[in-house]
Amino acid sequence: MIVTENLCKKFNRVEAVKDLNLNVRSGTVFGFVGENGAGKTTTLSILATLMLPTSGRAYVAGAEVTTDAALVRKLIGYMPDQFGVYDDLTVKEYLAFYGTAYGVSHGDIEKRTKELLAMVNLSDKVDFYVNTLSKGMQQRLGLARSLMHDPPVLILDEPASGLDPRSRIEMREIIKGLRERQKTVLISSHILPELAEMCDEIGVVQRGTLVACAGVEVVNARVHGQRQLQVEVLSGGAKLADELAFRHHISDVISFDEEHVDILFSGSEEDQVELIHELAVTGYSLKSVHEVGASLEELFLRLTRESDEGQPVSKLA
Amino acid sequence: MWSVWWKRTGNFFGNPLLRKELRQRMRSIRTVLAVSLYLIVIGVVAFSFMYVNVQGQTLLLQPTRTAELFTFLSYLQLALISFVTPGIASGVISGERERQTLPVLLTTPLSPWSVIFTKWITSISFLVLLILMTFPLYSIVFLFGGVVPSQVLAVFGLQFMTLGAIASISIFWSTIVQRTGWSTVLSYATVAAVFIGGSVVGYLFDTFATHSPDQTIWVDFGTAAYTINPIYMQASLETSLGFITPAFHNSVVASVFTTVQQHNLMSAPSWLIYTTIYILGSFLLLVICAWRLRPGTFTITHKRLLRWLLR
């Protein structure tokens, strides 16, 4: 449904997007993850026809974003990371304005306004002025606005940014509900656990390039299959790190100092007991070996670090 | 043909952005206050002028004084147009940018030209409303004779054209620069450059002409500077209508009307230049704005055209 082929965008000498190849299948919720400045917003802006790519191509439902921009605009609902609302317009008028702009008939506008406001829990605010709504309500209204013309594709740029925890949860639940409506959703965020709950697939972007892409299950399996362990010793952490790097079941030494060594361990709990035993026999003064929070965040950091260091990028799928 | 025309016109008036903008503008309490204040100012000035002129006079019908009042009111209106228009129009695009509503607006099927043209229409609509609301006040001059409705309409026509051009300049700056503050400053600076700068430059050229052996070139330059200046072109129109009266004792007013006659600004070429520059210039500025709003628009059209031609 959304495809990019060697997409590039340069701002003077800065390459914001570099040979980005993306393929979002129809009906999936795709999480687009990356640090600030990784090129997420630029990519989404190109897909939303707000920006022209320097080179490469991008397609939304088969329509090319530069040559068929008018068609693409009808096919997408776009919600930028930060957006304002018009003063002196009620919620109903606000939605009616965008509905009319998309050519939705008068009858359908009324019907969809009711339906969408119910979906985003704003039915009781229909006659409120939009500028009097809270930030969380405005974000939800923005989502309703992007659905006014019932587009098959939704492009949401950090929809939960700047929201309080309660509003974030509400927004997450609404986006989960979009899956049932068979929408293809491309959603960017730098908060990975949140995306893991909402998305079917996740793509990690670093410096404008897609460094990893996989289904959420694969990512979770990868994370859970490779636990991060911290080995605590009285001294000799550096020497231990050198030795652990070549041990079976240890795929990576993440960090170390004189008293701690963090490793990625792919073995079972029995393998872990065996490792502890072997280290004790070898003569290391072990204080403890414990599992530290293994999460998507760590995977993300590791992937981006690999990319930074020019090492081969982890292929998840 | 009529159905096509009706459909197109209906589509224009059914333009959601136009309806939204008009609704927002007219709903605001500031609009009500602005309209009231404008009418009060014009009304007070008009009645004061009449009171001063009628005092001690035995004759009520004084065509000369009426022409003077009309000229005074029309210049007051021109001053208000040049002062108020940039204030209204210089934030129409930069304001959308600052409120962060522009990206969403540009992802709708509304074309950049439609957005810019609608913004232009809504910017001038408020000023047009103000001008039209002063019609009853202008009609007072008919009571005293000396001015006929066609003359009033001619002056209003000139003012509408000037108003449209100032709105285009302001929207141009609003699209080009990021901040409304800068856009407002640049809009007022451009208007000042045309109104005041044009007068100063014209005066300088006239001075050069008196001291130079090659007078004609300097006089022509002076004529060009005055021709694009609405102050002089309004005076030219009022001279053509026969409003120049011995009552213009004020030296500044007298100098404007004298300059108009010296440079023959009532001539057809002067009017042709003025209307061409103001109408085509406005159109050109709005086209640039549409291009700037979505830079790829014309590139893609050009590519499409090229592809179609090669095919």
* Per-domain boundaries in chain A: 2-214, 227-293
- pLDDT reading at B41 higher than 80: yes
Hey, which residues 80-119 in chain B have their CB within 8 Å of chain A? 99-101, 103-104, 106-110
CA distances from B171 to A278, A307, B129, B188, B198 (A): 76, 46, 19, 12, 21
pLDDT of residue B249: 61
- pLDDT reading at A74 higher than 80: yes
pLDDT of residue B51: 78
Residues whose CB falls within 8 Å of the CB of residue A199, separated by 6 or more in sequence, listed in order = A28, A29, A30, A31, A187, A216
- pLDDT reading at B286 higher than 90: yes
Homologous superfamily, domain A2-214: P-loop containing nucleotide triphosphate hydrolases (3.40.50.300)
More confident residue, A215 or A69: A69
Residues of A with CB under 8 A from a CB of B: 45, 48-50, 52, 66-67, 69-70, 73-74, 76, 78-80, 82-89, 93, 96-98, 100-103, 142, 145
Whether B292 maps to a domain, the answer reads yes
CATH number listed for the domain at residues A227-293: 3.30.70
- Residue A211 three-state SS: strand
Q: What ipTM was assigned to the predicted interfaces of this complex?
A: 0.76
pLDDT of residue A174: 85
Whether B166 maps to a domain, the answer reads yes
Q: Do B108 and A85 touch (CB under 8 A)?
A: no
Nearest CA in chain A to B296: A52
Rounded Cα distance between A177 and A161, Å, is 19
Give tens-digit pLDDT for B83-113: 989 998 999 999 999 988 999 999 998 888 8
- pLDDT reading at A315 higher than 50: no
Of B101, B110, B300, Cβ closest to residue A86 = B101
- pLDDT reading at B251 higher than 90: no
Taking alpha carbons only, the member of B234, B173, B150 closest to residue B198 is B234
Full residue range of the structural domain in which residue B199 is found: 14-310
Q: Do B27 and A88 touch (CB under 8 A)?
A: yes
Rounded Cα distance between B104 and A98, Å, is 9
pLDDT of residue B10: 45
Whether B114 maps to a domain, the answer reads yes
Position B176 confidence tier, pLDDT thresholds 50, 70, 90: very high
- pLDDT reading at B185 higher than 90: yes
A49 chain-B contacts, CB cut-off 8 A: 106-107
Nearest CA in chain A to B304: A67
Q: Among A195-209, B107-121, B245-259, B260-274, which stretch is predicted with the lowest mean pLDDT?
A: B245-259
Q: Does B13 touch chain A (CB under 8 A)?
A: no
Q: Does B302 touch chain A (CB under 8 A)?
A: no
Of B20, B104, B304, Cβ closest to residue A83 = B104
Give tens-digit pLDDT for A102-156: 988 888 999 999 999 998 888 899 999 998 998 888 988 998 999 999 999 999 9
pLDDT of residue A230: 85
The residue of B107, B118, B293, B311 whose CB has the most chain A CBs within 10 angstroms, and thus the best one to mutate to test that interface, is B107
Q: Among A183-187, A218-222, B61-65, which stretch is predicted with the lowest mean pLDDT?
A: A218-222
Residue whose pair of structure tokens reads 């005293």 in the numeric block:
B144
Number of domains within chain B: 1
Whether B4 maps to a domain, the answer reads no
Whether B2 maps to a domain, the answer reads no
Position B8 confidence tier, pLDDT thresholds 50, 70, 90: very low
More confident residue, B3 or A234: A234
